A = this chain, B = another copy of it.
């Protein structure tokens, strides 16, 4: 229907069609949510007929899984590619955050699918996500531990690094989510806010300046 005037491009190689379908699927899933997205609409947006999707990508679940997989791979690649492991830990965290928020800013639909949709579906979709998050937490944790040990480690601080890493990763996800609804803030600023909170808060922990009720 949407493809009435600009005449349907015909007989493209499978590879290209698959990309078009995935693009359309990500867009529609992100706008409507998994269940409210219909295969008919996806096929329409992609500019192909429905059986093509089933022929190339399988069932609706399969299609969604393919979206999650592609987007999460892209995200991971973007972040990993933006970080130089030879730099100091804080710079690595900074570069990672910047790459992350840049990616989210450019691929809002992709991020929505990953974060809001995949997580709210139970089951095997979110496994991919859980794995990705685990890797992210691991990366951050490594940075924190390296920093803590470099400064003469305090056992209280090191035992908390993993939870802290999880909090930072969670905060990043959540901030990205928040940012979806405040697009006027530049990526750089969002990253800086989190960096301040995370690195300064962590720095205090390393130095033993913890907060506690009554003290």
Contact surface of A with B, Cβ cutoff 8 Å:
31-36, 90-91, 94, 116-117, 119-122, 130, 160, 163-164, 166-168, 170-171, 173-175, 177-178, 181, 185, 189-190, 192-205, 209-213
A163 engages B193 (CB within 8 Å): yes
The answer on a CB contact under 8 Å between B170 and A166 is no
Task: Give Cα distance in the complex from A164 to B35, angstroms.
Answer: 34
Contact partner of A196 among B33, B117, B196, B201, CB < 8 A? B201
Q: What residues of B have a CB within 8 angstroms of the CB of A193 in the complex?
A: 160, 163-164, 167
Show 18 residue pairs from A and B whose CB-CB distance is below 8 angstroms, ordered by the A residue: A31-B122, A33-B35, A33-B120, A94-B213, A163-B185, A164-B193, A164-B197, A166-B175, A167-B171, A167-B174, A171-B171, A171-B174, A174-B174, A196-B201, A196-B211, A200-B209, A200-B210, A203-B204
Q: Which residue of B lies closest to A120 (CB)?
A: B120
B34, B35, B160, B197: the one contacting A167 at CB < 8 Å is: B197
- Asked whether B195 lies within 8 Å of A167 as measured between CB atoms, the reply is no
Alpha-carbon distance between A174 and B33 when the two chains are bound, in angstroms = 20
Contact check: which of B174, B203, B210 meets A170 at CB < 8 Å?
A: B174
Q: How many copies does the complex hold?
A: 2
**A94 and chain B: residue at smallest CB distance:** B213
Tell me the minimal C-beta distance from A126 to chain B in angstroms: 10
Q: How far is the CA of A208 from the CA of B157 in the complex (A)?
A: 23
CB-CB under 8 A from A194, the residues of chain B are 167
Q: Bound complex: CA of A174 vs CA of B209, how far in Å? A: 24
Chain B residues contacting A202 (CB-CB under 8 Å) are: 197, 201
Q: How far is the CA of A173 from the CA of B33 in the complex (A)?
A: 21
Q: Residue of B at shortest CB range from A181?
A: B130
Q: Which residue of chain B is the closest to A174 with respect to CB atoms? A: B170
For residue A172, which residue of chain B has the nearest CB? B174
Instruction: In the A-B complex, list the 7 residue pairs whose CB atoms are closest, starting with the nearest.
Output: A201-B201, A170-B174, A35-B35, A120-B120, A200-B204, A174-B174, A171-B171
Docked CA distance A185–B196 (Å): 26
